[in-house]
Structure 1
């Protein structure tokens, strides 16, 4: 019996790969939901106990919907060298193909990519089989963030590669056809952990928090909280020359893993939001991730949504916590990525005292209202992926897709919620309980992806 919390409960790994067809549906699936929901997770092979949750090999789970039916579920390990034990560090330096590939999965230019921020992306087939490492035809020679951003206006993919060693931060742009058109080092970056970032219509926004490279951290993820590490937000203009014009703004100590969104307001200020943790919150999560004896509760118990307003003219930052609910995995209607949005969504977690429970949260940023769809005791939802409705006329006209890990029933379901009121529309019963995971994407059918 393992003592590692990230191999128990909701996070107990699947032990095999299966395919199931003709899934049972309660309610009525909207026929316009024709495509695939694909979600990634850390899922080490049987007999493997990683030293950190993030070190577990990636497994993707896919659910195929078409014309009101749930056609299949399948799960597959991402077959990278690391799955078979290949080390990341070699005598010749880091092996960028020795990836867990367990953080996120996205589609760009017809390619399905499983991502882990320390490595190259791995391409998958529509059926989730592994094609291999993808380096953008040799133009990507660094790691790639697990949180690239697709500009909804241009179709460009913006992403970065970060490293604890110089160059600490490289910024890339790939066009809508998947060709890297720009890559450059960002001036002034440090070894601070950079997991996510944001784009606006005119700027790129990087976040350096209080977690930074620590060679004495032996969990396999060499980062820890450091009070001496300045927390900062870096803002640079989009475009080939922006990397030399970045400006860094000091902020309060903290750590943000995931940005909800950023945009320029009507005064030209940049507004950035996302859940953050303080020193205690980070340590509680870290203790769980590494299985420390004093691990306490699961992660995210002190993760609260924060807003920064950066005035480029005055050179100032206003920041405040705007909600005291413990949340993570912020999402939105990505048609509004980089622009001012009214609604955003998140997953709620119990707080340090166990209050609050699991749920899917909707924020109305115009009124300040917060609505929660409680998923129930021992029912952990995955990141809620927004899918616009056909012919949508409102920002929240669409659906939220979330996969539930139900410990009491030892089962999982795909919940389809109305993104407007958070009412349940349909439930798809899956053939196994799906391991609690991290990020995923809805990939609608197109001429290039339709089977």
Structure 2
């Protein structure tokens, strides 16, 4: 039996690709949930033990809903060269098509893309078959972040490519039709790990933490904590010449994997929020990710929501931890991406001592209230994806979709929660347990070419 925590319990890989139709439903699915919930995660093939959680091959799970019915479930490996053992590093340098493709899956301009930040995206069909590597018609010349941002106003896709070698950071914009219309190297960036970023109505916000390129790390992911790497926030104006005007602001040591949102407040300050770990928290998490001694009980430990307020006028940053609940995978109603929002969601985990439990958390940023939907003993929810309700008039008029792994029953269900009160509306029984994974998207049938 393997000692690697990312191959056991909730994270035990699924051994086969399956397709099931006519899924059983508890409760009633809202008819406006007509589309696909797709979720990606690291799922190595049987007999393969990767040296790091992030190196496991990507498997996309899809659940097709239509007008109150759960039509099908299917899971497919993303068939990249790495799935069959092709190395990332070659004698000619990195092979950008040798991707795990296991971090995220999105839709933009009618294309489904499986993402992993060290590589090119991989295009999928609506039935989750692999089309192949996608480089935006040759205009994407380096790796693409797994966390692009689609502007809800313009439909543009903003993203970046990062590298441990110069150029450290390249920024891209693709228009609503999927064509890259802008790219620029960002000055002042370093080899710090940049997993996510934020978009406001006026700025692009990059985060550099204390985790940076470390060639002595032999897990296959050459990054580690460095007290000598400064932690910073970079605020760059949107627009074709924005890179020339980026400003970097020092922040307290830490590392950020995912941001909840960012926006300009009434005073023109940039407000950014997201779960953050300190040095000890990062080491606990890293030890879990590689299966080393001294690890935390979960893949994230000591991960607490932090808020930064960047005052562009006086050049200062005010920051504070705003909650003591260990959380990750923050989400929101993405119609508010880049604008001031009232509500955000996250998945709660037991803390570094094993206290607390799994659940879906909702934050009211106006009142400071926090509500948690507990999913039950030995059950772990996935990232909660927000879907607006038909005719929504309030920010939290909608649903949260989360796939729950139940290791006692060796089963999984898709839960549909009311995003307002977190009450369960419906549950869809899946044909087998779905291993705990990372990120996903709701793809409505209104998306082009995907109905």
Question: Scaled by the length of structure 2, what TM-score is found?
Answer: 0.99
Which residue number in structure 2 is paired with residue 347 of structure 1? 347
Which residue number in structure 1 is paired with residue 116 of structure 2? 116
Whole-angstrom distance in 2 between the partners of 1:349 and 1:84: 33
Whole-angstrom distance in 2 between the partners of 1:396 and 1:406: 27
Matched ranges for 1:197-216 at <5 A: 197-216=197-216
Deviations 1:140-182 (A, max 9, x none): 0100000000000000000000000000000000000000000
SS of 2:441 mapped into structure 1:
strand
Which residue number in structure 2 is paired with residue 379 of structure 1? 379
Shift of 1:450: 4.6
Which residue number in structure 1 is paired with residue 229 of structure 2? 229
Which residue number in structure 1 is paired with residue 169 of structure 2? 169
Whole-angstrom distance in 2 between the partners of 1:320 and 1:293: 31
SS of 1:392 mapped into structure 2:
coil
SS of 1:54 mapped into structure 2:
helix
Distance 1:450 1:228, change over 3 A: closer
Shift of 1:448: 2.9
Which residue number in structure 1 is paired with residue 320 of structure 2? 320
Which residue number in structure 2 is paired with residue 426 of structure 1? 426
Deviations 1:366-413 (A, max 9, x none): 000000000111100000000000110000000000000001100000
Shift of 1:293: 2.4
Which residue number in structure 1 is paired with residue 70 of structure 2? 70
Whole-angstrom distance in 2 between the partners of 1:318 and 1:295: 31
Unaligned runs of 5+ in 2: none
SS of 1:282 mapped into structure 2:
helix
Whole-angstrom distance in 1 between the partners of 2:96 and 2:59: 18
Whole-angstrom distance in 1 between the partners of 2:134 and 2:450: 22
Which residue number in structure 2 is paired with residue 404 of structure 1? 404
Which residue number in structure 2 is paired with residue 276 of structure 1? 276
Which residue number in structure 1 is paired with residue 35 of structure 2? 35
Whole-angstrom distance in 1 between the partners of 2:377 and 2:190: 42
Whole-angstrom distance in 1 between the partners of 2:199 and 2:362: 22
- How many correspondences in the alignment? 451
Question: Scaled by the length of structure 1, what TM-score is found?
Answer: 0.99
Which residue number in structure 2 is paired with residue 21 of structure 1? 21
Which residue number in structure 2 is paired with residue 358 of structure 1? 358
Deviations 1:409-450 (A, max 9, x none): 000000000000000000000000001000000000027345
Shift of 1:355: 1.5
Which residue number in structure 2 is paired with residue 95 of structure 1? 95
Whole-angstrom distance in 2 between the partners of 1:446 and 1:298: 37
Shift of 1:92: 1.1
SS of 2:434 mapped into structure 1:
coil
Whole-angstrom distance in 1 between the partners of 2:173 and 2:448: 22
Shift of 1:300: 1.9
Unaligned runs of 5+ in 1: none
CA-atom RMSD, angstroms?
0.7
Deviations 1:28-78 (A, max 9, x none): 000100000000010000111000000000000000000100000000000
1:56 lines up with 2:51 in the alignment: no
